[in-house]
Amino acid sequence: MVNFQINVKSVMRIAVVDKEKCRPERCNHECKLFCPPERNDVDVITIEKTARINEQTCIGCGICVKKCPFDAITIINLTHEAGKLVHQYGENGFRLFNLPSIKESKVVGLLGRNGTGKSTTLNILSGITKPNLGKVNGDVSWHEIIENFRGSEIQQYLERIKEKKIKVSYKIQRIELISKTYADRKVRDLLDGVEEEIIKEMGLDILLDRKVGTLSGGELQKIAIAKALSKDADFYFIDEPTSFLDIKNRIDVAKTIKLKLKDKSTLVVEHDLIILDYLSDFVHIVHGFPGAYGVVSNIYHTRRGINSYIEGYIKEENIRFRDYSLEFNYIKESKRLKEKLLYVPKMKKTYDSGFFLEVEDFYIYEGEIIGILGRNGLGKTTFIKLLAGIEKDDENMCDFDLKIGYKPQYINLNYEGSVESFINENIKLNEDIKNHLMKPLEIERFIHKEVPSLSGGELQRLSILYSLSMPADLYLLDEPSAYLDVEERIILGKILRRYAEQLNTSLFVVDHDLLFLSSVSDRIMVFDGVPARRGYAKQPVDFKEGINYFLKTVDITMRVDEETKRPRINKEESKKHIEMKSKGIYFEF
Ligand code: ADP
Ligand code: ADP
Ligand code: MG
């Protein structure tokens, strides 16, 4: 028999089969057919409902990964000990290593890519999921679990879960589930027991008589947070609190969490790095391979942890989890020297609902990115729709003959079928699109899934691909960072800068992630007004002036981190904040 003892040095092999993608009835079992040990009669792959890979006999060559027509297999050869195996979702399922620390009277953040086990971690710590230590075929006793964590900080905590002596409050990630479950109930019922003060502070008093099913994402989010904060518990788990919220809301929510939970132990998952930085005392990085495994790092002070995340390297543990460092560069080359692309006239738009928008006139230049900032309900989407020709302004002033690529805020591709067939039918593929859009957006990873079954982040990436692959003079992207994790946001930023700098196209980007917007925008357009009543769109100004003006309206000052140049919010009570405010400087970089 041939000896397959391997070319790949590894201490642990992880073979993951995506149960949704694996369809043995629709393929020729290529994984088994081409597997080198299998060809020599060594049992590695068993085909049942889905393929099962024996990690002991697998040699980690990765041929099955390439041969599988559905991209259902991931093989990882870990070259160093990942950590303590805490949980595994079935045979050849996702694996989570290590658990985070829980600190009394502190907020601890979890920072990592989608699909690396952050929600799984919260489910374990809140007692919803009993960890199985990777033993997928038998029952694991609490005694065994606790023994496994002997000597670590988390041991006592697990004992309390076992005794059911733990009071937790949990703000789940998927708030749309609340909307489904309580669709016909009044907000008032849902908020029963929530302190008057929190309801007022979060502006929920005006929603009390609305039905839960009619609420916007932002409104639901605030209700879920209010509910979680007002529950009397010892431990608070807050999963992605800023999704759907505008910047003002994000900061308000962060302030409320800090204030209400200052004597409690809190764990927060968040992808908006500026908010995570502002909110947390400590962070854990969760690294690994999305969908295959995740490792919770040691705990670090927030600044150190976020900087390591940005570098892609945890020095203290000698772990490199990304082969490049994220970069921030605020001042882009001046676009003023470039050609004018378009004159946007003064415009007005009135809706039946009574909302009224006014837009100042201005020029758009070739090859520039205009970042749009403003609270929810001030007409940003309306403005984008006027440019896209989807809505008409009151006086029909907006009339031009440009090719437009548009990504709406609420994505509905209206397509029943696989991602692959959507692409074949709707996108004219060429090398450029393959290399500069499909690859960085990692579309291949879900190309065999059905469009209606895509996760929020996958749908967002497909929709970005779709709009940017249309040949156009002007691209309009409405909240493209929603549902994306930090790396995906940075990658999107790079894609957009390439469109501006190399292809000389112009783009408008509406977004609430200040770090993302700061890293892409040449100029900033700020929307002012009263949400849902009237909006005022000021003409775009230089990045520095625009961001300063915007931060002033929300009473926040920001400095940049010396090491990484990432923006950081100054604490309200800090000397720096008071000093900057008195000088009228809201962003110092
Ligand atoms: P994150 O919160 O970091 O995005 P999750 O903890 O939600 O990650 O999921 C990590 C991985 O575990 C994903 O690949 C997901 O598909 C898988 N997973 C989550 N829940 C289950 C489950 N109940 N059964 C099987 N796999 C699951
Ligand atoms: P933003 O994108 O800044 O959050 P929008 O442009 O989506 O704001 O909405 C501004 C206001 O106009 C909101 O109060 C919204 O409810 C209202 N609105 C948007 N579209 C319509 C419409 N087709 N008919 C009536 N009211 C609308
Ligand atoms: Mg909008």
- Across the range 394-414, mean pLDDT stands at 89
Calculate ∠ Cα 476-478-484, nearest 5°: 120
The ranges assigned to domains in the chain are: 8-78, 85-167+233-320, 340-542, 557-589
- Across the range 16-30, mean pLDDT stands at 93
Partners of 525 in the β-ladder: 372
Query: Is 119's C-beta closer than 6 angstroms to any atom of ligand 1?
Result: yes
Q: Is residue 246 within 8 Å of residue 375, measured between CB atoms?
A: yes
Task: Give Dmax over CA atoms of the chain in angstroms.
Answer: 82
- Across the range 577-586, mean pLDDT stands at 95
Choose among 437, 439, 418, 434: nearest CA to 475. Answer: 437
Instruction: Ligand 2, residue 383: give the atom nearest the CA.
Output: 6
Domain 85-167+233-320's class? alpha beta
Instruction: Ligand 2, residue 535: give the atom nearest the CA.
Output: 10
For residue 289, pLDDT beyond 90 = yes
For residue 248, pLDDT beyond 50 = yes
In angstroms, the CA 223 to CA 189 distance is 11
For residue 6, pLDDT beyond 70 = no
What was the pLDDT predicted at 336?
A: 56
For the chain, the average pLDDT equals 92
Instruction: Ligand 2, residue 352: give the atom nearest the CA.
Output: 25
Q: pLDDT tier at 331 (50, 70, 90 boundaries)? A: low
- Across the range 406-419, mean pLDDT stands at 90
DSSP symbols for 172-195: -S-THHHHHHTTTSBHHHHTTTS-
Query: Is 380's C-beta closer than 6 angstroms to any atom of ligand 2?
Result: yes
What was the pLDDT predicted at 7?
A: 47
Q: What is the pTM of this model?
A: 0.88
Specify the fold of 340-542.
Answer: Rossmann fold (3.40.50)
Give 8-78's CATH code, choosing from 3.30.70.20, 3.40.50.970, 3.40.50.300, 3.90.650.10. 3.30.70.20
For residue 40, pLDDT beyond 60 = yes
Q: Is 316 helix (H, G, I), strand (E, B) or coil?
A: helix
- Across the range 110-127, mean pLDDT stands at 94
Nearest protein CA to atom 26 of ligand 1, as residue: 89
For residue 409, pLDDT beyond 80 = yes
Amino acid present at 205: D
Q: In this prediction, what percent of the chain has a pLDDT beyond 90?
A: 76
Residue 508 tokens read as 């408008």
Comparing 296-310, 323-337, 498-512, 548-562, the range with the smallest average pLDDT is 323-337
For residue 165, pLDDT beyond 50 = yes
Nearest protein CA to atom 22 of ligand 1, as residue: 89
Nearest protein CA to atom 24 of ligand 1, as residue: 89
Query: For residue 289, which ligand has an atom nearest its CA?
Result: 1
Comparing 315-329, 418-432, 509-523, the range with the smallest average pLDDT is 315-329
In angstroms, the CA 370 to CA 517 distance is 9
Residue 187 or residue 151, greater confidence:
187
Choose among 570, 455, 430: nearest CA to 115. Answer: 455
Burial of 562 (C-beta count, 10 Å sphere; 0-12/13-18/19+): exposed
Residue 128 tokens read as 């919803």
pLDDT digits (tens, 9 = 90+) for 190-229: 999 899 989 998 889 989 998 998 888 889 999 999 999 9
What was the pLDDT predicted at 33?
A: 95
Amino acid present at 501: E
Sheet hosting strand 282-289, strand order edge to edge: 85-88, 95-97, 293-301, 282-289, 107-112, 265-269, 235-239, 168-171
What was the pLDDT predicted at 216?
A: 84
Q: pLDDT tier at 333 (50, 70, 90 boundaries)? A: low
For residue 432, pLDDT beyond 70 = yes
For residue 476, pLDDT beyond 90 = yes
**516-551 burial: b if 16+ Cβ within 10 Å, else e:** bbbbbbbbbbbbbbebbebbbbbbbbbbbebbbbbb
Indicate if 340-542 has the same CATH topology as 85-167+233-320: yes
For residue 17, pLDDT beyond 60 = yes
For residue 303, pLDDT beyond 70 = yes
